[in-house]
Amino acid sequence: MFNSCRVPGVGMDTYELHDPSLYRHVVVVRGGEFYQLDFVDEHHNPLPQAVIESRLNQVVAVGCNREDLPGGIGVLTAGNRDTWANDREELIKLDPNVIQGLRVIQSAAVVVCLDDKDPVSVGCASEGVWNGRENGGGNRWFDKPVQIVVYENGKAGLLGEHSMMDGMPMVRYADYLVKNNYGDTAVIAPMGKGEYFEGGVKDVFENVPTDVLRMNPIVTKMVGRGMEEFNKLVGDQELTATTFRGFGAKDIKKFKMSPDAFVQCVIQVATTRLFGKSVGTYEASQVRVFRHGRTETTRSCSLETVELCKAMGMRNDGEWRRKEEAERRVGLLRKAANSHVGYLKKAAKGEGVDRHMFGLKMLLKPREKVPELFNNPIFNAAKTWRVSTSHLTHPSFDNWGWGEVVPNGVGIAYSIHGDRCVFNVTARKDTGYSRRLAQFLEDGMVETWGTIMTVMQGGSKL
């Protein structure tokens, strides 16, 4: 998570893990320029807050006054991995000191991105943290496991690189950040003296001649191509953030129903209405109780949810207001929710099927004959996740999310707070799915809850 980095390679990337006792710096990005900033002294004691603030202000001041910025080579990390691997080798060939600068970034504890934007809405802030579109992608280093994004107006977020870790470590990290003041670090280690008050900030590529990275036509062309590809990539995406404030986990629990299972059932109703049919749905479930365990797939689309969706229909027919019909639908809802909880428990115990089958496929050697099962169209359709979902709730998170995993699919990240539910929906812009699904989700929440209320008001026992 810290002092590590994904490194591009043709055909396969690698991951570098650096000893934190040997590296005591972070990398701060401002205006597409990268700076090395020490945050502990030579004895690895945290520097005083005033020193950290002074050094960050130096970065901001220098970044605002420079006229030789290259436009941000960080955008290259957003491109095709093989292309970035080749570009990286080209950069290293230009000057031997380039690799030194890259190693500074790769060994940094984290990357801090100081963006010169002031997003107001949750959606705009979320999109900026997600892809850095407004900065052209140059104010990021997407290979780093942890990037802290801070805006001019004080809004902030975290961007995680997924290959070596999942969401929960980032949640724990964020939880620590929001619950502790910087001065609390003195409990862990004595505060350093910070003798070098004015120093400690270096241009990561200070040993690389100006004409190599900032005036070289090869780099200019490389970055220009990278920005063009980046703008097309993020321009094809659409993110819709919505908060449903009608009810939350507290009310759902009153009916002895899992809040996660309830929301997953609503997702099934909403996506069935979006696509006109039930489709493969993925929910990430944790298997961290096992050594090296990460996630397993909980298949949220089941026979029980299909029956529920049939009963709810392709649109709000108002039938849920009739007691008899409401009782029938609530019964189907409870069956679907119980089925979901059952699968989730099995997945958490390592009894899911998807990671097992994936592991078997990865055991195939190059040019080894692929078993017929892996080429079976039904098998492949069953693991095409047109709906990719995950649940993560933290009181300090306004939103969170990721992109869809197939071109004709959607990504649904959600949080279930005590009094509200937050949804982040992503999809390719040309599909029109994002905004439509956000509305279907809100409608589904209202309709499903209304069905329950009809039963309750009629005096029936849930």
Rounded to the nearest 5°, which phi and psi values hold at 4? -140, 170
CB 111 within 8 A of CB 141: yes
Query: How many beta carbons lie within 10 A of that of residue 291, not counting itself?
Result: 5
Confidence of residue 178 (pLDDT cuts 50, 70, 90): confident
Q: Kindly give, in sequence order, each residue whose CB lies less than 8 Å from that of residue 105, ignoring residues fewer than 6 positions away.
A: 5, 27, 34, 111, 141, 144, 204
d(CA 13, CA 10): 7
Tell me which of 233 and 62 has the higher pLDDT.
233
Nearest of 293, 256, 46, 27 to residue 141 by alpha carbon = 27
d(CA 71, CA 240): 29
3-class DSSP assignment, residue 55: helix
Structure tokens of 275?
């696509």
Quote helix, strand, coil % in the chain, to nearest 5. Answer: 45, 15, 35
Q: Kindly give, in sequence order, each residue whose CB lies less than 8 Å from that of residue 290, ignoring residues fewer than 6 positions away.
A: 350
Determine the residue type at 429. K
Confidence of residue 67 (pLDDT cuts 50, 70, 90): very low
Identify the DSSP state of 319: G
Nearest of 421, 420, 385, 357 to residue 300 by alpha carbon = 385
d(CA 38, CA 27): 9
pLDDT tens digits, one per residue of 122-145: 999 999 999 888 888 889 999 999
Widest CA span in the chain: 79
Q: What average pLDDT does range 213-242 have in this prediction?
A: 92
Q: What average pLDDT does range 410-438 have in this prediction?
A: 97
DSSP states along 245-269 = -S--HHHHHHTT--HHHHHHHHHHH
- pLDDT for 211 equals 78
Active-site residue, from 43, 44, 162, 356: 162
CB 392 within 8 A of CB 415: yes
Q: Kindly give, in sequence order, each residue whose CB lies less than 8 Å from that of residue 227, ignoring residues fewer than 6 positions away.
A: 71, 72, 75, 136, 137, 138
**Residues pairing with 285 in the sheet:** 296
Q: Give the Cα-Cα-Cα angle 96, 101, 217 (nearest 5 degrees).
A: 65
CA of 75: how far to CAs of 59, 67, 133, 423, in Å? Answer: 20, 19, 10, 28
Nearest of 44, 431, 429 to residue 238 by alpha carbon = 429
Determine the residue type at 408. N
CA of 133: how far to CAs of 82, 238, 440, in Å? Answer: 22, 12, 27
Q: Kindly give, in sequence order, each residue whose CB lies less than 8 Å from that of residue 127, ignoring residues fewer than 6 positions away.
A: 133, 239
Question: Worst-scoring range by mean pLDDT, 69-83, 89-103, 430-444?
Answer: 69-83
Whether residue 340 lies in the annotated active site: no
CB 33 within 8 A of CB 176: no
Q: What average pLDDT does range 259-266 have in this prediction?
A: 98
d(CA 120, CA 123): 8
Nearest of 229, 213, 204 to residue 81 by alpha carbon = 229
In this model, does residue 68 exceed pLDDT 50? no
Rg over CA atoms, the chain: 25
What are the DSSP E strand ranges found in 123-216? 146-150, 156-160, 201-203
In this model, does residue 109 exceed pLDDT 60? yes
Determine the residue type at 139. N
Identify the DSSP state of 255: T
In this model, does residue 191 exceed pLDDT 60? no
In this model, does residue 70 exceed pLDDT 50? no
Question: Worst-scoring range by mean pLDDT, 17-31, 194-208, 383-397?
Answer: 194-208
In sequence order, which ranges of 313-432 are alpha helices (DSSP H)? 323-348, 354-362, 377-382
d(CA 62, CA 10): 36
d(CA 175, CA 110): 16
- pLDDT for 206 equals 86
Q: Give the Cα-Cα-Cα angle 318, 320, 326 (nearest 5 degrees).
A: 165
CA 349 to chain centre: 25
Say if pTM beats, i.e. exceeds, 0.85: yes
Nearest of 126, 207, 107 to residue 423 by alpha carbon = 126
In this model, does residue 234 exceed pLDDT 70? yes
Across 181-195, 202-216, 250-264, 281-295, the highest mean pLDDT is recorded for: 250-264
